[in-house]
Amino acid sequence: MAKEKEKKEKAYGAEAITVLEGLEPVRKRPGMYIGSTGVEGLHHLIWEIFDNSRDEAMGGFCDRIEVALLPGNRVRIVDNGRGIPVEIHKTTKVSALETVMTTLHAGGKFGGEGSGYKVSGGLHGVGASVVNALSQYAKVTVHRDGGEHMQEYVRGKAKAKVKKIGASKLSGTIVLFDPDPEIFSEIKFNWNAIVQHLRQQAYLVKGLEINILDLREYAGRIDTDDTFYLRDMGHQCISTSFYFEGGLYSLIKFHNKFQTPIHRDIFYIDKQEGSVSVEIALQYVDDITSREIAFANNTYNSEGGMHVTGFRTALTRCLNDYAKKNGIVKDSDESYTGDDVREGLTAVISIKMPEIQFEGQTKAKLGSVEARSATEKVFGDAFSAFLEEHPDDARAIIQKVVLAMKARKAAKAAKDSVLRKGALEGLTLPGKLADCQSRNAEESELFIVEGDSAGGSSKQGRDRRTQAILPLKGKILNVERARLDKMLASNEVKALVIALGTAIGDTFDISKLRYHKIIIATDADVDGAHIRTLLLTLFYRYFRAVIEAGHIFIAQPPLYRVKKGKETLYFYTEQEKETYLKKEGVSSEELEGEMEGEEVQEETKEEEEATAKKKVAKLHIQRYKGLGEMNPEELWETTMDPAQRILKKVNVDDAAEADKIFDLLMGSDVAPRKSFIQSNARLANLDI
């Protein structure tokens, strides 16, 4: 084993670094390399450098990575791997470190057997050089072969040659980079996004310790030059650590934390098939939705791919074979479908392989054909054995699948009666919908409002040409655990589905969406928040493509109207109102009775000259509890006028995290929801 590791380490020298082309295009077209120059592209810089360290861990050369956010939004990433080679590269005639950092498509991930990595997450190997090119300053420190080496860069260009700055008994790489404000309009890292992404990576690499530090607000001196791991210095800061021995087994437990499992044992397999390593874990829960999370070389594949296809094929075949073998299914017409066997399933599929191929630039879908057959064989053999060896678990799974099949058949007739002949394609719009005149979806807006009172005001105050109004009566059905046929039996849900024009379920077609702005405008109270959550649950579960396309918005009506003489002001938050009152010299206590419509007088300060006349300004403050309290002119001016209104776009940045929150808040299990409310009660704004 030691000889094999020594052989691998020798193979990772300057000759393992392959050069394909130069670096110049990166600063001209950064979006081609990191997706965008917005917040996602900014965070992509961290992922690129982290992936290099993680690939060291996947190769067995590294077991600890530290990611630190430093003052000034600098980022420092450290690993205890082999260290980037520093000797002279035979092609570029400069240090291999400088080659990696300043040349596009240069790295240890090309060249097959002679390269530094058999398996890596980076397909193109552009990570380090792209991050360097898009940083106004970067520095790499390498501990390798008994020495400490360093090189600095400005906007992708080396300031000087790599130099040895001392002796070292350590091994690893430290990358410090400062994102360039000339490239990124806003440089502000999201702590939660970083934690969620790196937590996921920790599950995918068993035995890897990942430490994350937030030192952005640290007041003391941070010595990044003489310190390897900043965590070991004991800085008082926000920090999170991850270490999972269980790999995907632990990830399944995390995803099902707020679910009720229907079988005790989590299925898990980790096996090599040819050049493809297949790791899969799954568990069925008491739910009607499914969660299949796929990774290839630790890169998340949001659109699945060949490994998911192989998994699904094997899953359906295994459960059908087991049911027929045990006399549960006798007629071929009674075979379970893919939808039947995936209902309530939580599964994570992770494959690792050399020469990996993705479809498109984003790596959202795996295209490597050999991954399908390898996944199908490894999972099929292991899951068949699992069912035989765990009869109680197999029985519970089959019962779940049988219920899904019966429900599918029972729902089909009811669903067909609603969906047939284009009944949901906008042929008969609901009577409560006040539609707009325009038939151009790009300029059309649909306001979903709460109750007839708000509906009346908004219908009178709207721009009839482009704005449609759909009032909802009461709280709509909680669709978290409702099947499609039950949903469409709800008049409120059915009216909304018809108004959207996309249909639903198998017949959903986003190209038929009748409005490109769907605006949820509920009251600013507890009931309004509940209705908004129910609507978001509906959109998330059945119209997620509409959210992902950026068509769902939440209106922000004002909380207060303040009249001072002939001047009328609107305030959207409590803080805005308090700031204004403080400026006017009036305290909230003086306005205790003002919410009922009384008028108060604000007097000038006592310090003013006694001979001066006191300035008196009459303030009238109204607290809005619902849109129905506004007259049409106020509603237009504050909430509906595109030139003045405030809208919040709804995004699903992390589908898995959103899925977990909806399960917790809208599911049937009371205990985790109660715990969540107790833990977060102090953050709530109560409307009593």
150 pLDDT higher than 80: yes
User: pLDDT-based confidence at 78, cuts 50/70/90?
Assistant: very high
Least confident of 77-91, 112-126, 205-219, 488-502: 112-126
pLDDT in tens, 29-67: 888 888 889 998 999 999 999 999 998 998 889 999 999
pLDDT score of 473 = 82
Q: Left if phi > 0, otherwise alpha if psi is -120 to 50, otherwise beta: which for 105? A: left
Alpha-carbon distance 474 to 452, whole Å?
10
CATH 3.30.230.10 matches 248-414: yes
- Which residue in the list 55, 523, 634, 637 is annotated as catalytic? 523
- Verify whether residue 450 is a known catalytic residue: yes
Model confidence band, residue 588 (pLDDT cutoffs 50, 70, 90): low
Give the rounded percent of residues in the chain with a pLDDT score beyond 70: 79
pLDDT at 386 over 70: yes
Mean pLDDT of 357-379: 88
CATH class of 2-242: alpha beta
pLDDT at 54: 93
Q: Looking at per-residue confidence, does 309 or 258 come out higher?
A: 309
Give the pLDDT confidence score for residue 28 in this predicted structure: 84
Whether 506 sits among the annotated catalytic residues: the reply is no
Give the pLDDT of residue 604: 45
| pLDDT at residue number 597 | 41
Look at residue 550 and tell me whether its pLDDT is greater than 80.
yes
3-state secondary structure at position 363? coil
The residue that leads in pLDDT, 361 or 488, is 488
Confidence of residue 160 (pLDDT cuts 50, 70, 90): very high
Do the Cβ atoms of 106 and 18 come closer than 8 Å?
Answer: yes
Please check whether residue 451 is in contact with residue 492, taking contact to mean a CB–CB distance below 8 angstroms: no
Distance CA 309, CA 323 (A): 22
199-230 pLDDT per residue, tens: 999 999 989 999 999 999 987 788 888 899 99
Mean pLDDT, residues 238-248 taken together = 91
What confidence tier does 598 reach under pLDDT thresholds 50, 70, 90?
Answer: very low
- The string of DSSP codes covering 409-467 is HHHHHHHHHHHGGGTTTTSS--TT-B--S---TTT-EEEEEEHHHHHHHHHHHS-TTTE
Rounded mean pLDDT, 381-408? 93
Pick from 230, 233, 254, 259: which is nearest to 242 by CA?
Answer: 254
Residue appearing with tokens 């092609």: 91
**Domain 423-557+648-676 is found in CATH 3.40.50.670:** yes
Mean pLDDT of the chain: 83
Of the candidates 434, 432, 454, the residue with the CA atom closest to the CA atom of residue 445: 434
The whole-angstrom separation of Cα 322 and Cα 658 is 34
Beta-bridge partner residues of 235: none
Q: What pLDDT, on a 0 to 100 scale, did the predictor assign at position 627?
A: 82
Catalytic residue (one of 279, 287, 450, 594): 450
Asked if the domains at 248-414 and 423-557+648-676 fall in one CATH topology, the answer is no
Domain boundaries, the chain: 2-242, 248-414, 423-557+648-676, 560-602+614-623
The average pLDDT across 323-347 equals 86
Residue from 525, 548, 657, 687 carrying the catalytic annotation: 525
To which H or E segment does residue 313 belong?
Answer: helix 306-325
- Mean pLDDT computed over 369-382: 96
What pLDDT, on the 0 to 100 scale, is given for residue 605? Answer: 45
Catalytic residue among 286, 303, 334, 527: 527
Residue 280 has a pLDDT of: 97
Q: Picking from 14-23, 248-257, 381-390, which range would have the lowest pLDDT averaged per residue? A: 14-23
523 an active-site residue? yes
pLDDT at 667 over 80: no
pLDDT, tens digit, for every residue of 402-436? 988 888 777 666 556 555 434 444 446 777 899 99
Q: What is the pLDDT of residues 492-526, one digit of tens each?
A: 888 898 899 988 877 789 999 999 999 999 887 77
Least confident of 364-373, 463-472, 662-671: 662-671
pTM over cut 0.85: no
Which residues lie closer than 8 Å to 563 by C-beta, 6 or more apart?
Answer: 569, 619, 620, 621
pLDDT given for residue 537 in this prediction: 82
Residue of 306 and 218 predicted with greater confidence: 306
pLDDT tens-digit readout, 478-496: 766 676 667 777 888 888 9
| pLDDT at residue 95, as a whole number | 92
Write the pLDDT tens digit of every residue in 163-179.
999 999 999 999 999 99
Whether 600 has a pLDDT exceeding 50, the answer reads: no
Task: Supply the pLDDT for residue 574.
Answer: 83
